[in-house]
Chain A
Amino acid sequence: MTGDTRHQNALLTLEGMTKAYPGVVANDQVSFSILPGEVHALLGENGAGKSTLVKMIYGLVKPDAGHMTLRGENFAPVNPAAARASGVTMVFQHFSLFDALSVAENISLGMDNPPERRALSARIREVSQAYGLPLDPGRTVGDLSAGERQRVEIIRCLLQDPKLLIMDEPTSVLTPQEVDILFETLRKLTAEGTAILYISHKLEEIRSLCEHATVLRLGKVVDTCDPREKSARQLAEMMVGDTLHVPFREAAEPGPVALSMSGVSMKSPTEFGTDLRNISLEVRKGEVLGVGGVAGNGQDELLAVLSGESRAQNGTITLAGTDIGAMPPNARRARGLLTAPEERLGHSAAPDMSLTENALLTGAVREKLVNRGFLRWHRTKDFARKIITEFDVRTPGPDNAAGSLSGGNLQKFVIGREVLQRPDVLVVNQPTWGVDASAAAAIRQSLLDLAQNGAAVVVISQDLDELMEISDRFTALNEGRLADPVPTQGLDVETIGLMMGGGETESAA
């Protein structure tokens, strides 16, 4: 379809949309149109301006310039309620649900004019059946899986009879089987004429689902295409504007067992956290073990029990033959077990402290940054500088606050801090979450190099492509249980899905 006919038939047209924040132009003259019944992909790296753009469409952000037309009429929502009234709804990447309330209560809280509870429950059942999204309106949200929570959000949108549904990274929390269910639903919706604006950086998904893609780079539309006609690599290069570096390493024979867990069970320290159940695992020197699984299935707890922040109630954790189960974090570090948690701001780094101080945070023991309790600031600063140069962290210097760095740069710093301490075993959770493609490639390469030099590496991640790319063996967490690891080579999506889903597919509630 040519640009002109697209424009004439469009449901929503954006023209010259511009939004600037101090120091950065998030969107610069963005124009495109969305047709009724179309799945329109919005592609771009982190920081390309996707979120700002959809926030303007949803009335959360006021554009500096440009205007939108919805079904031929001027469209300038002052807030999300106005956008919803015009038939534009959005499912966010992070859910805004109350754990302690039921599905129906949550849905009615998010509606502008909620119907009476009994009628609402009936409507929820009706819609959920019509679109193949099984959901019991009476269940407590805290007990739902991430996939089911997403259904709550989607049904909340569907009840408002939307003309345009915006979805921000909807599959990042789903198993492959749940993704299939979601795609079925989306196809049903488009068949009825609803348009979907789909944001993702999972290229295979976009290729299988979307008919039209708009590619953003640094706030500008750099390309449009039909993703079904492009390869994933071509799409990636459109996003990055460069050729991609794919991590590689020489195959190496795995060495002796470096870290083993046997029968480890732990009650989650947080409410609505996931208890670890009878986890056994062996990681050998020189190997990368990938731990997949949908978010909230015990990833944080697994990292905490290995870092020493939490203690297991049962089972043993052995590092090179020594039982370390009762040791605090720094004793484990001294013996060569290093970790990097998922949350950068406030967990693996203190945002308001300088990079030098953040280097001290985990480096104190192994880098000998403390002498009889007194801090060796020069040595610490040198260590921070070394991380910054060797991991290409973009910052004016080690005196800058960690929070002033972009997500990708801070993640490079955090991973670099652990890698440069030459760990025997490194455990990382979501090493490339929210990191742009080139930084992600650099981080993956550094993990592979570490393994090649004889360290055992455990990568916990929700990005299956990442795990397939770098791990030798694959396992998955499901409701706090760990599947038996299998070699990554030749692993098919069906098996992965079964491991992530604990051997059973989603059933109606």
Chain B
Amino acid sequence: MIHLEKRPQPSQFWAGFTPILAVIATMIAGGIMFWMLGKPPLEAIRTIFWDPLFHETFGPYSRPQLLVKAGPLILIAIGLSLGFRAGIWNIGAEGQYIMGAICGAGVGLAFYPSESVLIFPAMVLAGALGGWAWAMIPGLLKVKFGTNEILVSLMLVYVAENLLASVSQGLLKNPEGMGFPGSRNFRDFPAAYNTEIISGTGMHWGVAAAFVAVIFAYVLLTRHMLGFQVRLTGEAPRAARFAGVNPTRLILFCLGTSGALAGLAGLFEVSGPSGQVTIDFNSGYGFTAIIVAFLGRLHPIGILLAGLLMALTYIGGELAQLMLGLPAAAIQMFQGMLMFFLLAMDVLSHYRIRFNKTVPV
């Protein structure tokens, strides 16, 4: 009989090896599903995992997309992971992402058609501030009145979405847009455009910011007192108080940081890949980033890899729909399998499997 036995402490080896095992398991289970749908399993899997990067025709188009999609996911997830580590649940990154985009884009558009080199940095700053301020609302309500940050931050997403709808049809609407909703396109506004740093790679300033955030979070969590306090608060809140952690400051720091990073992601998206403030430019990165944060085990390096993997399955999934005529539902199910196996395999790093019932003496 198989039973699980808790390890005295999590295994380092299995923590690193389970993601690989999970991808293999997904390929097998997904392959069976594709085969039952009457599609060639090996080809489907190759289309999802291999072709986006290495296909002769599609590769050059989809390779940059990998970074474009992974960048905001990683940037937001890094911020969220700090709070999640401390037991502070910011579920409203989508709202902070929208508000960062609105504020940053607003600053840029206010100076149209200036060519000053200061415009883009000012937009970045305004984007971060916008996201930060939006996250401060649940933060301040929590520390002053003990409200639940999950509910408040989530509800503020819908407020932000309505604000977005309002400004894209009003305040920020392109005066030369012949009545269509949506702002001016930043592609026609070079001083404010979030351009590719290296052409043809998808590497824009937001992706660079995401990499910096990964390094920053890694150093913070492993080498800095503040990071230690974040982890301690999540592991044992009472011990954290005993160790002198100020819960109010920590809550505001975690919510503020995750809001600012989400705001940055919004600004980089709206001024780059999306190009304009429209009613639906946001595409749910703020929510997907929650999954990315947990897939990456709330660890900066893990989040980097999880963001890339998530982006790959999105791009590969689209490609598979196009090439093999796989239904969208099958692709979503495949992505779901990947999450499932990643999280389920986690049991291996906390437990060891025993195959008989004899008890060691």
Binding site for B on A (CB under 8 A): 20-23, 25, 64, 307-309, 328-330, 333, 339, 341, 343, 346-353, 357, 360-362, 364, 370, 373-375, 377, 400-401, 404
Instruction: Check A401 against B8 for contact (C-beta < 8 Å).
Output: yes
Docked-complex contact B232 and A353, CB < 8 angstroms: yes
**Size bin of chain B's contact surface:** 20 to 34
B329 at the interface (CB under 8 A from A): no
B2 at the interface (CB under 8 A from A): no
Q: A357-B228, A357-B232, A361-B243 are in contact. List 9 more A-B contacts (CB 8 A).
A: A23-B360, A329-B241, A347-B242, A348-B242, A353-B235, A361-B232, A374-B223, A375-B225, A401-B9
Nearest residue, chain A, Cβ from B219:
A374
Report if B38 contacts A (CB, 8 A): no
- Bound CA span A370–B224, Å: 8
With a cutoff of 8 Å between Cβ atoms, the chain B residues found around residue A308 in the complex are 244
By the criterion CB–CB under 8 Å, are A329 and B223 in contact? no
Contact B236 A350, beta carbon cutoff 8 Å:
yes
| Nearest A residue to B246, CB-CB | A328
Q: Taking CB as reference atom, which chain B residue is nearest A404?
A: B8
In the complex, what's the smallest C-beta–C-beta distance from A410 to chain B, in angstroms?
12
User: Does B236 lie within 8 Å of A25, measured CB to CB?
Assistant: no
Taking CB atoms, residues of chain B closer than 8 Å to A23 are 360
Interface residues of B in 243-301 (CB under 8 A from A): 243-244, 246
Residue B5, interface by CB 8 Å: yes
Query: How far, in Å, is A340 (CB) from chain B's closest CB?
Result: 9
> Can you name the residue of chain A whose Cβ is closest to the Cβ of B359?
A20
In contact, A373 and B226 (Cβ under 8 angstroms): yes
Contact A329 B238 (CB under 8 A): no
Given the interface pairs A23-B360, A351-B236, A353-B232, the reply to whether A374 lies near B243 with Cβ below 8 Å is: no
From B9, B224, B238, B239, A374 is in contact (CB under 8 Å) with B224
The 3 closest A-B pairs by CB, nearest first: A330-B244, A329-B244, A350-B236
Q: Which residues of A contact B223 (CB under 8 A)?
A: 374-375, 377
A22 to B244, CA, bound (A): 38
| Among candidates B5, B9, B231, B242, residue contacting A404 with C-beta atoms closer than 8 Å | B9
CB-CB under 8 A for A375 and B236, given A22-B360, A330-B244, A333-B244:
no
In the complex the two chains form, is A374's CB within 8 Å of B232's CB? no
The CA of A483 and the CA of B5, in the complex, are separated in Å by 50
B361 at interface, CB cutoff 8 A: yes
Q: How far is the CB of A348 from the nearest CB of chain B, in Å?
A: 7
Residue of A nearest to B238 (CB): A347
**Minimum distance in angstroms from B26 CB to a CB of chain A:** 29
Decide: A20 near B361, CB < 8 A? Known: A348-B242, A404-B9: yes
- CB-defined contacts of A400 to chain B, threshold 8 Å: 8-9
Q: Which of A330, A339, A346, A350 gathers most chain B CB within 10 Å? A: A350
Q: B235, B238, B241, B244 — which one has the most chain A CB atoms within 10 A of its CB? A: B244
**Complex Cα gap A23–B5 (Å):** 11
Judging by beta carbons under 8 Å apart, are B225 and A373 in contact? yes
Q: Within 8 Å CB of A328, what residues of B? A: 244, 246
Point out residues on B near A: beta carbons under 8 Å: 5, 8-9, 223-226, 228, 231-232, 235-236, 238-239, 241-244, 246, 359-361
Cβ A370 vs Cβ B246 within 8 A: no
Nearest CB of chain A from residue B104's CB, rounded to whole Å? 30
Complex CA distance for A347 and B232, rounded to whole angstroms: 11
> Min CB distance, B349 to chain A, in Å?
13
- B-chain residues with CB within 8 Å of residue A364 when the two chains form the complex: 225, 243
**Distance of A499 Cα from B265 Cα, bound (Å):** 64
Contact: A360 with B228, CB < 8 Å?
Answer: yes
B228 touches A349 (CB 8 A): no
- From A330, A347, A370, A404, B236 is in contact (CB under 8 Å) with A347
Question: Which one, A350, A353, A370, A404, contacts B225 given CB within 8 A?
Answer: A370
Q: Cβ of A22 and Cβ of B236 under 8 Å apart?
A: no
Task: Tell whether, in the assembled complex, residue B361 and residue A347 are in contact, meaning their CB atoms are under 8 Å apart.
Answer: no
A22 touches B5 (CB 8 A): yes
Provide the bound-state CA to CA distance between A478 and B238, in Å: 25
Q: Do B9 and A346 touch across chains, with their CB atoms under 8 A apart?
A: no
**Which residue of A330, A333, A343, A350 contacts B235 across the interface (Cβ within 8 Å)?**
A350
Nearest Cβ distance between residue B10 and chain A, in whole angstroms? 9
**Are B359 and A22 interface neighbours, CB within 8 A?**
yes
Task: Check A375/B228 contact, CB under 8 A, given A346-B238, A352-B235.
Answer: yes
Chain B residue at minimum C-beta to C-beta distance from A352: B235
Contact of B239 (CB < 8 Å), options: A20, A64, A347: A347
CA distance A30 to B82 in the complex (A): 51
Shortest CB distance A26–B (Å): 11
Q: Tell me whether A309 and B228 are in contact (CB under 8 A).
A: no
- A329/B232 in contact, CB under 8 A: no
Cβ of A348 and Cβ of B224 under 8 Å apart?
no
Set of chain A residues within 8 Å of B359, measured between Cβ atoms: 20-22, 64
- Assembled-state Cα–Cα distance A308/B242 (Å): 8
> In the bound complex, do residue B242 and residue A373 qualify as a contact, i.e. CB atoms below 8 Å apart?
no
Of the A-B pairs whose beta carbons lie under 8 Å apart in the complex, a sample of 27, sorted by A's number, is A20-B361, A21-B359, A22-B359, A328-B244, A329-B241, A329-B242, A329-B244, A339-B242, A341-B242, A346-B239, A347-B242, A348-B239, A349-B239, A350-B235, A350-B236, A350-B239, A352-B236, A353-B231, A353-B235, A361-B232, A361-B243, A362-B242, A362-B243, A364-B225, A374-B223, A375-B228, A401-B9
Q: Please give, as numbers and ranges, the residues of chain A lying within 8 Å of B236 by CB-CB distance.
A: 346-347, 349-353
User: What separation, in Å, do the CA atoms of A159 and B107 have in the docked complex?
Assistant: 76
CB A114 to nearest CB in B, in angstroms, measures: 36
> Are A350 and B8 in contact, with the CB atoms below 8 A?
no
Residues of A within 8 A of B226 (CB): 373
Per the bound structure, the CA–CA distance linking A349 and B228 in Å amounts to: 14
Which chain B residues border A351 with CB–CB below 8 Å? Answer: 235-236
Residues of B within 8 A of A360 (CB): 228
Tell me, in angstroms, the Cα distance from A341 to B5 when the chains sit together.
31
Contact residues in B for A347 (Cβ distance below 8 Å):
236, 238-239, 242
**Nearest B-chain residue to A64, judged by Cβ:** B359
B242 lies within 8 A of A375 (CB):
no
> In the complex, A78→B83 CA distance in Å?
45
Q: How far is the CA of A435 from the CA of B233 in the complex (A)?
A: 27
Chain A residues near B360 (CB, 8 Å)?
22-23
